């Protein structure tokens, strides 16, 4: 009896340890995810500090800075170096945000939170996934975490205002890609003018499963439909996204290019992409 109880205890401990492991999925098929890219000023007090494709943004305010996304776990030193290159300090980061709770945007978040002691603010739909390191992700569910869990300091809801210093950001709940995918809308200005900026989480369909075969996300059909409709009605001056490839970063800004916010003002490209994603969604629904 004692031996049987010991074996049960031993096996349970193994399962717990396995569940606590962090195993980031391979990025070998996406070399652009880790390829360094020189940081630059996008518009006003908004800067790009990510890699060639995994977009990370620094918003500098009078009360400290806001960092949106962190790429893979290996991106940590790149992001810190990029911020330093721009003349800022990682220690001045006060708020951490993400556009979606996937490992390619959350990988280095825990490490940077530990360094900065910044507050992690997360859309309500992704709060659980951020806190458990991806264990509860509806499409990537498994027995290992895909990124290091991060303590959530504030849960955000659609339309909430994020304030820091002289900046205000509005979070837009755009679920589907993840349960808490979100975009951010805010104003920045330079010596010439002000710009309404949209950092959009494009609602790409991440799962190969039929929507009806995802019991852990029963609202996925409605969420995608809602997000696509909501994103068609947004207005802005310039737009960016979670991935550089989504807003043609490499063709719009070459390393060493002069400051020019206007290159990110191609609204037609944004609306065309939303229409394409709508068509992809409609095709998947029809097939089911």
Q: Is it the case that residue 12 has pLDDT exceeding 70?
A: no
Q: With cut-offs at 50, 70 and 90, classify the pLDDT of residue 8.
A: very low
What CATH number is associated with residue 70? 3.60.15.10
Domain count within the chain: 1
Q: Is residue 9 part of a domain?
A: no
pLDDT tens digit string along 90-136? Answer: 999 999 999 999 999 999 999 999 999 999 999 999 999 999 999 99
Q: Is it the case that residue 173 has pLDDT exceeding 70?
A: yes
Q: Is residue 5 part of a domain?
A: no
Cα distances from 258 to residues 2, 7, 49, 128, in angstroms, run 73, 65, 16, 41
Alpha-carbon gap, residue 139 to 286, rounded angstroms: 21
The model carries a pTM of 0.92
Bridge partners of 195, per DSSP, are 188
**What pLDDT is attached to residue 39?**
98
Q: Is residue 130 part of a domain?
A: yes
pLDDT tens digit string along 30-63? Answer: 999 999 999 999 999 999 999 999 999 999 999 9
Q: Is it the case that residue 14 has pLDDT exceeding 50?
A: no
**Among 1-5, 24-28, 176-180, 214-218, which is the least confidently predicted range?**
1-5
**What pLDDT is attached to residue 143?**
75
SS3 content of the chain, % helix, strand, coil (to 5): 40, 25, 40
Structural domain of 37: 19-287
Q: Is residue 151 part of a domain?
A: yes
Q: Is residue 245 part of a domain?
A: yes
Q: With cut-offs at 50, 70 and 90, classify the pLDDT of residue 192.
A: very high
**What pLDDT is attached to residue 144?**
83
Please, is 158 exposed, middle or buried when counting C-beta atoms within 10 Å of its C-beta (0-12, 13-18, 19+)?
Answer: middle
Mean pLDDT calculated for residue range 207-214: 94
Mean pLDDT calculated for residue range 213-231: 97
Cα distances from 282 to residues 181, 213, 228, 232, 263, in angstroms, run 20, 17, 11, 15, 31
**What pLDDT is attached to residue 20?**
60
Q: Is it the case that residue 156 has pLDDT exceeding 60?
A: yes
Alpha-carbon gap, residue 277 to 280, rounded angstroms: 5
Q: Which residue has the higher pLDDT, 48 or 20?
A: 48
3-class DSSP assignment, residue 150: coil
Residues of the chain with pLDDT > 90: what percent?
89
């Amino acid at each position: 009896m004692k031996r049987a109880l010991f074996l049960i205890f031993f096996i349970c401990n193994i399962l717990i340890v396995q569940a606590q492991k962090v195993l980031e999925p391979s990025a070998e098929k996406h070399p652009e995810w880790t390829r360094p890219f020189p940081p630059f000023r996008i518009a006003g007090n908004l800067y790009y500090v990510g890699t060639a494709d995994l977009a990370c943004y620094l918003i500098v305010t009078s009360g400290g800075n806001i960092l949106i996304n962190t790429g893979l776990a290996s991106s940590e030193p790149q992001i810190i170096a990029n911020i330093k290159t721009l003349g800022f300090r990682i220690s001045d980061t006060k708020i951490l945000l993400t556009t979606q709770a996937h490992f390619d945007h959350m990988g280095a978040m825990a490490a940077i939170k530990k360094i900065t002691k910044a507050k992690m603010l997360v859309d309500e739909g992704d709060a659980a996934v951020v806190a458990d390191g991806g264990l509860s992700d509806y499409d990537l569910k498994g027995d290992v975490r895909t990124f290091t869990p991060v303590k959530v300091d504030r849960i955000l809801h659609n339309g909430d205002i994020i304030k820091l210093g002289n900046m205000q950001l509005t979070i837009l709940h755009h679920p589907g890609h993840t349960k808490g995918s979100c975009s951010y809308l805010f104003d920045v200005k330079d010596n010439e003018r002000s710009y309404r900026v949209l950092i959009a989480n494009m609602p790409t369909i991440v799962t190969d499963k039929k929507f009806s075969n995802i019991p852990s996300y029963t609202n996925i059909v409605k969420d995608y439909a809602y997000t696509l409709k909501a994103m068609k009605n947004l207005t802005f001056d310039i737009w960016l996204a979670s991935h550089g490839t989504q807003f043609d970063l490499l063709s719009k800004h070459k390393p060493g290019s002069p400051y020019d916010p206007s290159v990110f003002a191609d609204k037609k490209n944004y609306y065309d992409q939303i229409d394409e994603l709508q068509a992809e969604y409609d095709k998947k629904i029809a097939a089911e």
